[in-house]
């Protein structure tokens, strides 16, 4: 597995990271033993970056990762870097009830995360969203205190726009911005990506398969009511058929390359720059194995042009989140990114 450096201030990580969110209910039920086996298989294959959020399954995801890491010994465990998002508030029924990124909350969240993960530090710690009531300098300043105290190694950001990125970076070095980026979510290219590049901040790209929509596997009717996709605009009637037509165009290119659609979609993100690390949301070993084939798919300028023609920028039907969630994205509303 090749490595990439996350920004000038960040760590070296595997070319692909494993996003563990789907193992804690976001895409419907998942199987605990298989989830842990998937994390182990990822580390065994040389993946070193595990991404989570303290609110994924209200702590479930961190405890799962903690259990997976505890069962390991030696170099694979030592190589694993854990990236944690905090700040999203949830009620006992799992409802989303806002954000809290006040300094005292940051320190409290971190203390609980360390317990759940069974770790003495977190490698990259980041607010999941901008808390509109708290200046980013205060939130990043609180994480900087945790860096000084040895509880956190690097400061990250998530779904924020250029102005917030610049203010955060002026407070403390930022390793990476985690943000949605895929063939059908290219909003970062206009302002956010150039800002990150100018400031030496890496990108951990999520949703590279657009939550499975452009994986080549997802079919209509495949999402239960507890699944994020059941209320995601791109999966709704009126949009989904247009989006699946893009997948079929991509499938032809994939077939000609002897690759799968998912591998082409992941490889495309990885090909957009040495500063970009795609996170893949595999929760089963079978899907992980497919994703692990992506770094072996090399895309020539001709391939990239064919992909662009099959899935032109802006081709997706529907926004990447429902309106209520879009309103929390500083990356969309804060800097027109
Ligand atoms: N910062 C943020 O705001 C934010 C938001 C969302 C996610 N994230 C992070 O990014 C990670 C990845 O994002 P994501 O889960 O939304 O994106 P994703 O990788 O675009 O989608 C994952 C979905 O694709 C399906 N899939 C089909 N083929 C696959 C393959 N070969 N490899 C991997 N998945 C395949 C999965 O399958 P099955 O359904 O068949 O298992 C899963 O449902 C998350 O786990 C989380 O850590 C961050």
How much is the mean pLDDT over the chain?
95
Q: How confident is the model at residue 227 (pLDDT cuts 50, 70, 90)?
A: confident
pLDDT per position as a tens digit, 277-334? 999 999 999 999 999 999 999 999 999 999 999 999 999 999 999 998 998 999 997 5
Q: Which atom of ligand 1 is nearest to the CA of 218?
A: 27
Query: What value does the CA radius of gyration of the chain take, rounded to a whole number of Å?
Result: 19
The SS3 of residue 101 is coil
Residue nearest atom 21 of ligand 1, based on CA coordinates: 211
Q: Which atom of ligand 1 is nearest to the CA of 19?
A: 45
Element (H, E) at 154: strand 152-158
- Output b/e per residue, 235-274; b: 16+ Cβ within 10 A: beeebbeebbebbebbeebbeebebbbbbbbbbbbbbbee
56 is catalytic: yes
**Cα–Cα dist 46/43, whole Å:** 5
> Which residues have CB under 6 Å of ligand 1?
19-22, 27, 51, 85, 128, 158-159, 178, 206-212, 215, 217, 262, 279-284, 287, 290-291
Of the listed 27, 56, 99, 321, which one is catalytic? 56
Q: Mean pLDDT, to the nearest integer, of 171-190?
A: 97
Is the pLDDT at 81 greater than 60, yes or no? yes
Question: According to the model, what pLDDT value does residue 101 have?
Answer: 98
Tokens of 318: 């529907």
Q: How confident is the model at residue 258 (pLDDT cuts 50, 70, 90)?
A: very high
The region of weakest confidence among 32-46, 121-135, 225-239 is 225-239
Is the pLDDT at 337 greater than 60, yes or no? no
Q: Which atom of ligand 1 is nearest to the CA of 179?
A: 1
Q: Which atom of ligand 1 is nearest to the CA of 27?
A: 43
Distance 26 CA to ligand 1 centre (A): 9
Q: What is the pTM (predicted TM-score) of this model?
A: 0.96
Question: According to the model, what pLDDT value does residue 225 have?
Answer: 67
Distance 141 CA to ligand 1 centre (A): 30
Residue nearest atom 12 of ligand 1, based on CA coordinates: 281
Q: Mean pLDDT, to the nearest integer, of 119-126?
A: 97
pLDDT per position as a tens digit, 316-326? 999 999 998 99
């Amino acid at each position: 597995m090749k490595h990439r450096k996350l920004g000038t201030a960040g760590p070296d990580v595997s070319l692909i990271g494993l996003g563990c969110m789907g193992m804690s209910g976001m895409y419907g039920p998942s199987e605990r033993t298989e989830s842990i086996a998937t994390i182990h298989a990822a580390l065994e294959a040389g993946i070193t970056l595990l991404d989570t959020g303290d609110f994924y399954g209200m702590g479930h995801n961190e405890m799962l990762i903690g259990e997976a890491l505890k069962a390991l010994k030696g170099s694979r465990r030592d190589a694993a870097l854990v990236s944690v998002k905090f700040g999203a508030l949830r009620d006992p029924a799992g409802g989303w009830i806002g954000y809290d990124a006040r300094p005292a909350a940051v320190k409290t969240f971190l203390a609980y995360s360390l317990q759940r993960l069974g770790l003495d530090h977190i490698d990259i710690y980041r607010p999941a969203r901008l808390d509109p009531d708290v200046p980013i300098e205060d939130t990043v300043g609180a994480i900087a205190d945790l860096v000084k105290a040895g509880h956190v190694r690097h400061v990250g950001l998530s779904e924020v726009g250029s102005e917030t990125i610049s203010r955060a970076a002026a407070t403390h070095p930022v390793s990476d911005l985690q943000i949605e980026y895929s063939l059908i979510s290219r909003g970062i290219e206009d302002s956010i990506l150039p800002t990150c590049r100018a400031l030496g901040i890496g990108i951990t790209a999520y949703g590279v398969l657009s939550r499975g929509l452009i994986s080549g596997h997802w079919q209509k009717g495949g999402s239960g009511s507890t699944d994020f996709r059941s209320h995601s605009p791109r999966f709704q009637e009126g949009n989904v058929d247009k989006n699946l037509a893009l997948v079929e165009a991509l499938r032809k290119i994939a077939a000609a390359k002897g690759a799968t659609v998912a591998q082409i979609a992941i490889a495309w993100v990885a090909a957009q720059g040495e500063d970009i690390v795609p996170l893949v949301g595999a929760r089963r070993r079978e899907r992980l194995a497919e994703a692990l084939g992506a770094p072996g798919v090399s895309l020539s300028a001709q391939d990239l042009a064919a992909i662009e023609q099959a899935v032109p920028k802006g081709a997706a039907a529907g926004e990447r989140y429902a309106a209520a969630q879009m309103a929390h994205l500083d990356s969309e509303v804060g800097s027109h990114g």
